[in-house]
């Protein structure tokens, strides 16, 4: 729900900024397929939390544990950020806009993670806290 959902945002970004129609179509199809996985995960988590509301604590603990394990790799990779900006820029003169678009991707990823966690029944504060733990390196 978190990782695959974040990947949906990345796929949408690549689709929107694809250098050609074929790439856009391939990425669109991958995004649609990945969307089914995310929808299943959301439905499953929502059902489990409805049956056992105390399991929300387990989700928070798992996110905290994952974050602690990935501390050495936390932060966005500058090479990945540059690649996203170049893709979005689509020309050497468009790098400023590409950087803005890449920053927007990270904001969208956070907003969508929070939205998905609200969909499964977590409260906003918990959803915001878990999303803040998510590393911006697509892991």
**pLDDT of 76 higher than 80:** no
Give residue 137's pLDDT.
Answer: 59
Q: Report yes or no: 14 and 80 within 8 Å, Cβ to Cβ.
A: no
| pLDDT of res. 74 | 58
**Does 105 map to a domain?**
yes
Per the structure, the count of domains in the chain is 1
Domain membership flag for residue 139:
no
- pTM of the model as a whole: 0.82
Whether residue 55 is contained in a domain is answered as: yes
End-to-end CA distance of the chain: give it in Å, rounded: 12
The DSSP code sequence of the chain is --HHHHHHHHHHHHHHT-SSHHHHHHHHHHHHHHHHHHHHHHHHHHHHHHH-GGGHHHHHHHHHHHHHHTGGG-S--HHHHHHHHHHHH-SGGGHHHHHHHHHHHHHHHHHHHHHHHHHTT--HHHHHHHHHHS-TT--
pLDDT band at residue 43 using 50, 70 and 90 as cut-offs? very high
pLDDT over 80 at 50, yes or no: yes
Least confident of 12-16, 41-45, 67-71, 86-90: 67-71
Q: Is residue 108 part of a domain?
A: yes
- 61 phi/psi in degrees, rounded to 5: -60, -40
How much of the chain exceeds pLDDT 90, in percent? Answer: 63
Question: Comparing 130 with 74, which gets the higher pLDDT?
Answer: 130
32: Cα within 13 Å, side-chain hemisphere: 6
pLDDT on residue 135: 65
The domain in which residue 33 lies consists of: 3-133
State mean pLDDT over 15-40. 96
Separation CA 88–CA 96 (nearest Å): 10
Distance CA 98, CA 16 (A): 12
**Is position 138 within any domain?**
no
Residue 70 lies in a domain: yes
């Amino acid at each position: 729900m978190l990782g695959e959902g974040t990947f949906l945002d990345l796929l949408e970004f690549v689709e929107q900024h694809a250098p050609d129609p074929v790439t856009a179509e391939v990425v669109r199809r991958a995004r649609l397929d990945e969307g089914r996985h995310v929808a299943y995960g959301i439905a499953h988590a929502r059902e489990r939390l409805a049956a056992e509301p105390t399991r929300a604590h387990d989700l928070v603990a798992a996110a905290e544990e994952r974050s602690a394990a990935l501390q050495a790799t936390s932060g966005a990779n500058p090479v990945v950020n540059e690649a996203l900006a170049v893709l979005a820029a689509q020309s050497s003169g468009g790098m400023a806009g590409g950087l803005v678009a890449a920053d927007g991707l990270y904001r969208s990823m956070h907003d969508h993670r929070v939205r998905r966690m609200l969909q499964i029944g977590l409260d906003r504060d918990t959803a915001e806290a878990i999303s803040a733990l998510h590393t911006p390196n697509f892991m």
